[in-house]
Structure 1
Amino acid sequence: MSDQSLAHRAQNATRTETVHLPPTVAPVNHGKTVAGWTTTYGVVGGGLVAALGVTFALVWLAWVGLGIVVVALVLGKVLQSLGYGQGGSHTTARDSRAGAH
């Protein structure tokens, strides 16, 4: 009878695992793009305004905050389509300049 303990199986691998690698190298900017930061700041700011509206029972301020969130999301998508997002032309050009990471 063969040894089927966990230690034996760990030391004597009988099959190989399939490695699934991405087809291309990921961008090196780690999401630090104009579109990404604009969207992030807009959503956080709008959420803060909406939270203040809820806290002080000002319904109109809560709706203004939600409106800011929606505008930030749309603006981020527009900036992404204009090339300021991940892999966009403006972002790639900025990353290829000397000293950029």
Structure 2
Amino acid sequence: MADNISSGASERLYLPPAAPNDNHGHTTASWTLVVLVLIGVAIAAGAVVASLPWLFWVGMGVVALGIVSGKVLQVLGHGQPSEAERARA
């Protein structure tokens, strides 16, 4: 057993590369998208229960608004930086 223990000098450590320091999606763009989509889905679900087709489509409109606003905020710089932006920093 003692023969298998090396001195450590010849031992190589194989570690994964360090993860980039980022915020894991906690941005204004992502929170806006998530909140609006959840509100829209809640409206649409309530409309299905209440059997109101027009309110269902209002809820789907809120979902679409959330998706568009999240993308617009990302383009305006309120989202997660892209790989190219991280490389420049």
TM-score normalized by structure 2? Answer: 0.69
Residue 25 of structure 1 aligns with an amino acid whose one-letter code is P
Structure 2 residue 68 is the aligned partner of structure 1 residue 74: yes
Q: Distance in 2 between matches of 1:53 and 1:80?
A: 30
State the match for 1:56 in structure 2: 50
Structure 1 residue 30: deviation in Å? 2.2
Residue number in structure 1 paired with 2:8: none
Number of residue-to-residue matches in the alignment: 73
Report the residue type matching 2:30 in the other structure: G
Structure 2, unpaired ranges of 5+: 1-13, 83-89
Q: Once superposed, which parts of structure 1, at least 4 consecutive aligned residues long, lie more than 6 Å away?
A: none
In structure 1, stretches of 5+ residues that fail to align are 1-17, 89-101
Offset of residue 20 of structure 1: 5.8
1:8 aligned residue: none
Q: Which has the higher contact order (CA 8 A, sep 6+)?
A: 2
Q: In structure 1, what is the Cα distance between the partners aligned to 2:20 and 2:32?
A: 25
Determine helix, strand or coil for the equivalent of 1:30. coil
Say what the alpha-carbon RMSD is for the aligned residues. Answer: 2.5
1:81 corresponds to which letter in structure 2?
V
Scaled by the length of structure 1, the TM-score of the pair is: 0.62
The aligned residue for residue 20 of structure 2 is 25
